[in-house]
Amino acid sequence: MSQNPASKKAESVEQDQFLTVLSREEALARFETALFPRAIPYEPRQLADALGRALSEDIAAPIDVPPFDRSNVDGFAVRSADLASASEAAPVRLKLNDEVIACGVAPQRPVLSGTGTPIATGGPLPRGADAIVMVEHTQPAGARAIEVRRAASPGQFVASAGSDIARGEALLRAGTVIGSREIGMLAASGIAEVRVTRKPRVAVISTGDELVQPGSALRPAAIYDTNGAIVTAAVNENGGAARFLGAIPDDEAALEAAMRQALAENDMLVLSGGTSKGAGDVSHRIIARLGSPGIIAHGVALKPGKPLCLAVCDGKPVIILPGFPTSAMFTFHDMIVPVLRRMASLAPRSDAKVAAKVPVRIASELGRTEFVMVSLIEGADGLIAYPSGKGSGAITSFAQADGFLKIDALADQMQAGTEAEVTLFTPHVRVPDLVIIGSHCTGLDLVTAPLAHAGLMVRSIAVGSLGGLAAARRGECDLAPIHLFDDKSETYNTPFLAEGLELVSGWRRMQGIVFRKGDLRFEGKTAQDAARAALADYACIMVNRNQGAGTRILIDRLLGEARPDGYWNQPRSHNAVAAAVAQHRADWGMTIAPVAHASGLGFIPLAEEHYDFALVKMRKQRPAVQAFLDALASEEGRAALTKAGFRPA
Ligand code: AMP
Ligand code: MG
């Protein structure tokens, strides 16, 4: 073992970071113990502004509702005893009193025996009366009299004082979240202002030199601040009042000043970024100076989300979320939302869950509770949950996913075929009408656009051509877009079809050499000449494609035995190749024409790739599949594809 002091130091710094990784449950328990019970601040609120807030006091009804006995119908206030013998055969005649009781008018005259007073719905019952007869059950009998042909029971059609809400009755309990029903009860009781839990003020800070706010131009090597927007929205969704304070560079003094001010003015502070190893533990050092007890957990056995840091500084929660947006979002919802909602006096979130079968094996890290985003589709016998994560750095997985499943810390995988519980992101599952699983292409969006506009829900899951074929064979999708080149037969796609699948021709994508415009090694040349010029220039760097990609076969043919600089850089997508060239990390590579053109790059066409669809025959008659086939064959669809640089087959 090395006794080199420098390496020992490096080791201890590293260990410092995640000295004790706590289980998710243990970390949450310690965090809550440090924060609760606590006094929950409240504030007065006008009824109209109290919606969604939690009452912080019990409310007793200050009056009876209704405040007086009143009529429930249009009719006549009567003495029920007068009508005891009334029937069709023997109607009773009542003399009308010289008064009409409208709503909002206090009666002046009593109802004496043998009389009745006209009364409107909502009118107060006059003295002497104990029942109402409906106008429909009476007949005029001369100028100021009526005939009644049925008996009236005492209290008939009368709502008595306090029958709705009785004075002194507990109207609403502390903790009740005020909705329109509660607002109605309070308004009926004459209450204009209530005491509600004050929304916890939550300061949100992003950290990182690389962060730029959306709306500003992106400088080289910078990225847009995603967490600031996510956390701000998630705080507001869960009863907090978020104050986004922007992105602070990785500078200890600047960050400390911002954190101190944020804590002085708010109830809670949520940072993101700067918590992974190597970033330097700037914010952790600062937390230690901000108040006691300080850090409660740094390193939680969650995936994504291990670098999560939980602290309490003089009673206020301070949290550092991991930098990757997906990790930030999961840890926030799993670990911070429960605490925030408690501070806002809101009940824990009640997430909707469904059972679904997992069609593929999902590997998982032993010792960490793992969250896996899934897309739901309808299988032959029940829901199927397709893992749709692209790694913790990806944000778009959220848009495609319907929810997530949890893999226990003690499991190292979830086996294919497992019946899993999926927590939904939204309260209802909406099963897609059309499911497309396979290789992604921007042309796909053009063809499915009319379906989406017609209200059909299209779900496309990008898993590559081979993954798509496997899903199609299992009958999990309607269509699998593929672009697989068979070396032996030198044909695309058809040789890869299995039983139960048929090929639907899609479009052709011109592949060729991509380069920066004006580069004379490539400009105006054929692909072969351009490759020769590139190989002749020792300083020229290429970008390759992954083994198995159809494009890779073209590259290898072009290069022969040559292995130029950059050959081992093998990204998995057409876009990554264009980005490498556009950003000068490479001088040339091979991509498809629409991608090269969208990046403003030069392009030398070489060979067409066939992007087709393996159609699951069994599902061909489904309306959404037919709509897709129609859109694919339509004039509009073909025109849109052509305009984007594809060649419809
Ligand atoms: P860090 O924990 O600061 O090392 O960040 C880990 C990764 O998350 C890096 O790739 C950061 O660029 C990224 N990241 C950090 N903060 C944000 C943010 N607010 N929005 C988007 N990405 C971020
Ligand atoms: Mg950072």
Of the pLDDT bands very low, low, confident and very high (cuts 50, 70, 90), residue 462 is confident
Among residues 283, 371, 294, which one has the least CA distance to residue 333?
A: 371
Helices (H), 195-246: 227-237
Binding site membership of 17 for ligand 1 (Cβ less than 6 Å): no
- Nearest residue by C-alpha to atom 9 in ligand 1: 323
| Average pLDDT rounded to a whole number, residues 128-157 | 95
Structure tokens at 132: 């109402």
DSSP secondary structure, 116-170, as one string: EEEE-TTPBPPTT--EEEEGGGEEE-STTEEEE-S---TTTTEE-TTSSB-TTSE
The mean-pLDDT minimum among 4-18, 222-236, 501-515 falls in: 4-18
276 pocket-lining for ligand 1 (C-beta < 6 Å): yes
Q: What is the mean pLDDT of residues 221-243?
A: 96
3-state secondary structure 472-537: HHCCCCCEEEECCEECCCCEECHHHCCCCEEEEEEEEEEEEEEECCCCCCCCCCCHHHHHHHHHHC
As a whole number, mean pLDDT of residues 621-634 equals 96
pLDDT grade, residue 389 (50/70/90)? low
From ligand 2's centre to the CA of 284, what distance in Å? 13
Q: Which ligand is nearest to the CA of 210?
A: 1
Phi, psi (rounded to 5 degrees) for 249: -65, 165
Q: Which two tokens stand for residue 413?
A: 């995988």
Residue nearest to atom 14 of ligand 1 (CA): 323
C-alpha 328 to ligand 1 mean position (Å):
9
Of 150-154, 281-285, 326-330, 629-633, the least confident: 281-285
Cβ of residue 507 lying under 6 Å from some atom of ligand 1: no
The yes-or-no verdict on residue 313 having pLDDT over 50 is yes
3-state secondary structure of 467: helix
Q: Is the pLDDT of residue 541 over 80?
A: yes
User: How far apart are the CA of 393 and the centre of ligand 1, in A?
Assistant: 9
Share of the chain above pLDDT 90, in %: 80
Q: What is the pLDDT of residue 395?
A: 61
Distance (Å) from CA 558 to ligand 2 centroid: 41
Residue with tokens 């289980």: 23
Cβ(317) – ligand 1 distance below 6 Å: no
Residue 293 DSSP SS3? strand
pLDDT at 170 over 60: yes
Residue 280: band (very low, low, confident or very high) from pLDDT cuts 50, 70, 90 = low
Assess whether pLDDT exceeds 60 at residue 237: yes
Is residue 275 lining ligand 1, measured as CB closer than 6 Å?
yes
pLDDT digits (tens, 9 = 90+) for 30-48: 999 999 999 999 999 999 9
Sign of torsion, CA 121 125 131 135? negative
- Going by alpha carbons, the residue nearest to atom 5 of ligand 1 is 323
**Residue 464, pLDDT score:** 81
DSSP state of 435: E
Ligand 1 centroid from CA 19, angstroms: 22
Best of 210, 248, 320, 398 to mutate for ligand 1, by most ligand atoms within 8 A of CB?
A: 210
The single-letter code of the amino acid at 107 is: P
Q: Which band of pLDDT confidence, cut at 50, 70 and 90, is reported for residue 276?
A: low
User: Cα-flanking dihedrals φ and ψ of residue 487, to 5°?
Assistant: -60, -40
* Cα–Cα nearest to 369, from 603, 118, 5, 24: 24
Give the pLDDT confidence score for residue 379 in this predicted structure: 84
> Ligand 2 centroid to 300 CA: how many Å?
19
Q: Which amino acid is at 558?
A: L
Query: Which tens digits make up the pLDDT trace of 171-191?
Result: 999 999 999 999 999 999 999
Q: Is the CB of 206 under 6 A from ligand 1?
A: yes
Residue 35 token pair: 């924060």
Q: Which atom of ligand 1 is nearest to the CA of 327?
A: 8
Q: In DSSP terms, which residues pair with 356 in a beta bridge?
A: 420
Return the HEC string of 234-270: HHHHCCCEEEEEEEECCCHHHHHHHHHHHHHHCCEEE
223 lines ligand 1 (CB under 6 A): yes
CA atoms of 247 and 204, how far apart (whole Å): 9
Say which range, 21-25, 390-394, 608-612, 626-630, has the weakest mean pLDDT: 390-394
The pLDDT tens digits of the residues spanning 364-386 come to 989 999 999 898 988 888 999 98
Residue with tokens 């087959």: 649
The residue to which tokens 């409660």 are assigned: 296
* Cα–Cα distance for residue pair 146/76, rounded to 1 Å: 9
Confidence category of residue 440, pLDDT binned at 50, 70, 90: confident
CA of 273 to the centre of ligand 2 (A): 5
CB of 305 closer than 6 A to ligand 1? Answer: no
Query: How far does the centroid of ligand 1 lie from the alpha carbon of residue 391, in Å?
Result: 14
Residue 56's nearest CA partner among 180, 190, 199 is 199
Q: Is 210 in the pocket of ligand 1 (CB under 6 A)?
A: yes
d(CA 53, CA 241): 12
* Ligand 1 atom with minimal separation from the 278 CA: 4
DSSP per residue, 135-150 = GGGEEE-STTEEEE-S
The CA-to-CA distance between both ends of the chain, in Å, stands at 64
For residue range 69-81, what is the model confidence (pLDDT) as tens digits? 999 999 999 999 9
Residue 610 scores a pLDDT above 90: yes
φ/ψ of 214, rounded to 5, equals -55, 140
| pLDDT interval class at 208 (50, 70, 90) | very high
**Ligand 1 atom nearest residue 227's Cα:** 19
Distance from residue 445's CA to the centre of ligand 2 (Å): 34
CA 129–ligand 1 middle distance (angstroms): 76
Q: Which of 205, 219, 250, 324 to mutate to test the pocket of ligand 1 (most atoms within 8 A of CB)?
A: 324
Q: What mean pLDDT is reported for the chain?
A: 92
- In short, whether 189's Cβ falls inside 6 Å of ligand 1 is no
Mutate to test the pocket of ligand 1, among 225, 227, 319, 396 (most ligand atoms within 8 A of CB): 227
Separation of CA 208 and ligand 2 centre (Å): 4
The greatest distance separating any two alpha carbons of the chain, rounded to the nearest whole angstrom, comes to 119
- Whether ligand 1 lies within 6 angstroms of the CB of 273 is answered as yes
What pLDDT score does 5 carry?
41
Section 525-542 average pLDDT: 97
Q: Atom 11 (ligand 1): residue with closest C-alpha? A: 323
The CA 314 to ligand 1 mean position distance, Å, reads 28
Verify whether ligand 1 is closer than 6 Å to residue 323 (CB atom).
Answer: yes
From CA 194, how far away is CA 179, in angstroms rounded?
Answer: 13
Ligand 1 pocket, residue 281 CB under 6 Å: no
**Ligand number nearest to the C-alpha of 224:** 1
pLDDT of res. 397: 63
